[in-house]
Amino acid sequence: MPDLTTTLGRLHLRNPVLVASGTFGYAREMAPYVDFTKLGGVVPKTVTAAPRAGNKPPRTVETASGMLNAIGLDNDGLDHFLDHHLPYLRTLPTAVIGNIAGKTEDEFVEMAAAVGARGAGLAGLELNLSCPNVSGGTDFAVDPALTRRIVRRCRDACPNLPLVAKLTPNVTDITVIARAAADGGADAVSAVNTFVGMAVDWRRRKPVLGNVTGGLSGPAIKPLALRAVWRIAQLKAVPVIAVGGIATPDDVMEFLVVGASAVQVGTANFYDPTASVRIADALPGALAALGAECVADVVGTLAT
């Protein structure tokens, strides 16, 4: 039986299969369907400093092999997360990686400090530097200097928790941003968040989404995510958590081979809440098929 553990900077996981933020609620909702002991970790929905109502509906629309969403970070705010969700999350028999989004650089830092002080039970903290749906908000991870500064300041404000910088693919060169996150002291980067797109109802000559544009996710984006992860991994500057269209054990193996040390399952949770568990169950067999004794034996072994 291959060793499934994986290590990304200071983050140690039982296995490389996590579930992605925004697709798994705050885990309570999924408890009837998911054996948490099987997962490498859970990333709950992004929280912001203050509660947010999110965008006007419709907020999701199905596309070919994927979906567009413009939820707009609908959440009850950081205090509610720490007081209400975290007491449940810390009872789960798996790693829980909090996920925060600040409206400004300073707000990110204040939130990271609050999580550092009150976030006992978390295994790490993911910085959502990349939400494309927050009207008036900034997509921080389009700017390498800003990315480096936010990661560095959050690391200083929250020194005890491994930090993961979640990157947007909506940039010219994602490796520049990944390197900036590494320079800032990120333990890992997660790549990628959704690709900005739109859907149109031509009969009504209207956008389908209330927000007009939204983020594309699901199997449709897997080839794009694979390339992004492959390019970041080649930097050898920071471990990568792959996100984007992962729905099967084969998908996970492809991302490990191109250089990811862990993965997150996102949109697949919506149409099959058991997907992540099925994938984790199949992983030992897939690793054994390559003669691998551990996850690291496969990571970044693409022959080109």
Binding site residues, ligand FMN, CB under 6 A: 20-23, 45-46, 67, 69, 71, 73, 99, 128, 166, 193-194, 217-218, 221, 243-246, 265-267
Residue in the shown chain whose Cβ atom is closest to ligand FMN: 22
Where in the sequence numbering do the catalytic residues fall? 131
Q: How far is the CB of 57 from ligand FMN (least distance, A)?
A: 13
**What span, in angstroms and rounded, lies between the C-alpha atoms of 94 and 83?**
19
Which residue, 99 or 261, is less far from ligand FMN as judged by CB? 99
Cβ pair 58, 212 in contact under 8 A: no
Cβ pair 100, 46 in contact under 8 A: yes
Q: Where are the beta strands (DSSP E) in the chain?
A: 6-8, 11-13, 17-19, 41-42, 60-63, 66-69, 95-100, 124-128, 163-166, 188-191, 195-198, 200-201, 206-207, 213-217, 240-243, 262-265
H-only helix segments in 17-173: 78-80, 86-89, 105-118, 144-157
Instruction: Tell me which DSSP letter residue 93 carries.
Output: S
The upper half-sphere exposure of residue 256, i.e. CA atoms within 13 Å in the direction of its Cβ, equals 23
Q: How far is the CB of 239 from ligand FMN (least distance, A)?
A: 17
Residues facing 42 on adjacent strands: 19, 96
**What span, in angstroms and rounded, lies between the C-alpha atoms of 225 and 128?**
17
Which residue, 2 or 85, is less far from ligand FMN as judged by CB? 85
**What span, in angstroms and rounded, lies between the C-alpha atoms of 193 and 264?**
11
Which residue, 209 or 292, is less far from ligand FMN as judged by CB? 209
Cβ pair 245, 219 in contact under 8 A: yes
- The C-alpha angle 156, 104, 267, rounded to 5 degrees, equals 90
Q: How far is the CB of 17 from ligand FMN (least distance, A)?
A: 12
Q: How far is the CB of 216 from ligand FMN (least distance, A)?
A: 8
Which residue, 2 or 194, is less far from ligand FMN as judged by CB? 194
Which residue, 233 or 247, is less far from ligand FMN as judged by CB? 247
Q: How far is the CB of 195 from ligand FMN (least distance, A)?
A: 9
Which residue, 6 or 264, is less far from ligand FMN as judged by CB? 264
* 58: preceding bond cis by omega (within 30 degrees): yes
Q: Is 173 exposed, middle or buried (0-12, 13-18, 19+ CB in 10 A)?
A: exposed
Return the residue matching tokens 């959440």. Answer: 75
Q: How far is the CB of 225 from ligand FMN (least distance, A)?
A: 7
